[in-house]
Every structure is written in structure tokens, then in C-alpha cells.
Amino acid sequence: MNSSSRNIRLSVITPFHNASSYIEKCVHSLMRQSLQGGVEFIFIDDCSTDDSLSRLQSVVEAYPERLHQVTILHNDTNRGAGFSRQRGHDTAQGEFIVHCDADDWVDPEMYGSMLNVADTSGADIVCTAFYVETPQKTSVIRFPSLDFPGLNTMPLDTLHGSLCNKIIRRSLLEKHQIRFFEGIDCWEDLGILFRLCVFTQRIVIYNRPFYHYRRTSDKTLSTIDMERVLNDHLAFARRMEEWFDAQPPDLKNRYRAFIDFTQFTAKIKLLRGNRRRLHEWKTTFPETNRQIMSYKNIPLRYRLCFYAADRLPEWLVKTIFFLARIL
């Protein structure tokens, strides 16, 4: 199934790997979009070993009017989220792109409404609030202000850093050659967003929720997963600094606060759990420790513990962390 390249306003990119429990609800929500024309749906099968693909195909076939808008790509091996999302970008033909995770779903008016905001505002990026779905309740997460924060003060959270609640003008990505960092699957969204924020101020917030982010026990990280996330975060922090190093020097100076905060946040998991790798934490991006008390996005009690970790003996630090019940 291939999408036509004519007059495509929006490319919706959905990678999936073994998502059979959720993918049908996701695809139904995409096929039911009020936006009828000018849209393409790109699904990337990251070498699933379950029946995700057949479930996807079954749902799409129930919407014959959408068949020409659907493209399904297949990775030969499991390559991860970053590779799959980039493959979607490389295939996309839309004026704007947006991502949807296969275990989430969207309201019918989402993409048409966001395009309308982009058209009336001239924005390069349109952001929306979203729902958090748990088995117990539905919550709404909204932006605290209609002004998108500057990069130096932007929280590293799902609301600001996710690609799933934002449509992005594709020409902005192409003009500045913004691609996913290869081999990084955690914070892969942030790798795109921070560079977009460097190159545009035309970001508009439409503070209405449309996207349903599923948060269940399935997303709880195991010890192995936690190590993978830590390694990806540290790799991201290094790749981010390498990218800034390749830009004009004033750019790195301008965004030094963002670089320091991101690198500091990337290494926090070194202090997590019973094996607190304090020496490694102290020697990884050590210059960021000088700024601990300035990281206002981190609660004060955490900052005080991190400040102590940088200056006190290891046995005392572990005692403080235990008593403070953090990490």
C-alpha cells in the first residue's frame, strides 16, 4: 500500500515493534481522523515477531478510502525507535510531519485542528496538550503558558520534548539537516526538538488535549531497561555537545545552560538503586556539578542531595539518599 505524493499536508509516522496489544486502537484512531485528504500514514514495522503487522493491515483494510494514503515499511532487523522514526522522515512527503506511538491513540479532530492553527499563525511547530491514560484514570497535561519556553529553561519532560503532540514543518528539518541521532532510542525525540528550538521561534501552543498517552505497568522499566536508558541518555548528551561543537561558537555559549542541565540530567540514573555509582557520577560531565543549585527544574530537596553527593564521602551520601528516599 503506497501513498500518493500529491498535495500532502501532513505525514503521520508510526513505528511499531511487537505492539499487538495496542496497535488496533491506535490505527483506528488514525483512520478516523476528520482530516480526509492531504494526509499520509507511514507505519514502520521494526521487525515485529508477534501479529502486530497483520492486525495493522486488518484495520487499514476496513477503511478502503484510506488505502492510498497508507505506506507500510519493514526493517530487516530490529533497529530501534530512532532509526525507524528517521526512516519515516525520509519517506514523508507532507508539508508537516507528526509522530504517533503505536500504543497510544488520538482524537478525530487532532490533525485537522493543528493544521488550521499552523495555517492561521504561520507556525513552524504547533504543540498541543495531551491526556495521560492509566488503568485508574485519565489526566490532562497542559502547557503552563502559551509561550513555549526558550531552550535554556525548557523542561525535559514529555509535554515539551515529545514529537507526538507536535506537528513540525518538514522544510525546517531539511533546511538545517536535522536527523535523529543514530543508535539512540531514548530521548530520540529531544534530539530533534532541541535543534528545532535553536533554529525557529515560530512555535505556537494550542493548549487543547487530543493525544492519549498510555501509561501502564507495561512501560515500567526493568533493571536492564534502566541501564539501556542510562546508556542512551549519556550517549545523547555526548552527541548533543558534539553537534554544538560543530556550530558557530556563539551558539554553544548561548545554550550553555541547556547543555549543562541536559548532561546533568542524563547522568542522574548513575545514582539510582542499590548500586549508586558515585565515582562515575562525579567524573561524568563533572563541570555540570558546579551548576547544581541553578537547575530550577529539579526539586530543591533533590538539588540539595546532589550538592551533597558532589562534596561528601560516599558512605555519608548513601545514608543521605536513603533517608531522603530519593532515586
Write out pLDDT tens, residues 81-120. Answer: 999 999 999 999 999 999 999 999 999 999 999 999 999 9
**Burial of 179 per CB tally in 10 Å (0-12, 13-18, 19+):** middle
pLDDT at 221: 46
CATH 3.90.550.10 in the chain is located at 10-219
pLDDT at 317: 87
Percent of the chain clearing pLDDT 90 (strictly above): 85
- Residue with more model confidence, 87 or 219: 87
Per-residue pLDDT band for 142 (boundaries 50, 70, 90) equals very high
What is the predicted pLDDT for the residue at 220? 47
Q: Which pLDDT does position 3 carry in this prediction?
A: 43
Among 228, 243, 274, 237, CA closest to 259: 237
**What does DSSP say about strands 70-74 and 166-169: parallel, antiparallel, or unpaired?**
unpaired
Give the pLDDT confidence of 266-321 residue by residue, as tens digits.
Answer: 999 998 877 789 999 999 999 999 999 999 989 999 999 999 999 999 889 888 88
Residue 173: CB atoms within 10 A of its CB come to: 19
User: So what's the pLDDT on residue 323?
Assistant: 82
CA distance 105 to 113: 16
Predicted local confidence at residue 112, as pLDDT: 98
Nearest residue to 173 (alpha-carbon basis) of 250, 243, 101, 92 = 92
CA distance to 60, 183, 288, 327, per residue, from 49 (Å): 20, 21, 42, 34
Could you tell me if 81 and 184 are in contact, meaning their C-beta atoms sit under 8 angstroms apart? no
Average pLDDT for residues 126-130, to the nearest whole number? 98
DSSP conformational letter for 142: -
- Say if residue 120 is exposed, middle or buried (CB neighbours under 10 Å; 0-12, 13-18, 19+): exposed
pLDDT in tens, 15-39: 999 999 999 999 999 999 999 999 9
Pairing of strands 125-133, 203-214: parallel
CATH classification code of 10-219: 3.90.550.10
pTM of structure: 0.93
The string of pLDDT tens digits covering residues 69-83 is 999 999 999 999 999
- Predicted confidence band at 222 (pLDDT cuts at 50, 70, 90)? low
User: What average pLDDT does the structure give for the chain?
Assistant: 93
Digit-coded pLDDT (tens) for 38-72 = 999 999 999 999 999 999 999 999 999 999 999 99
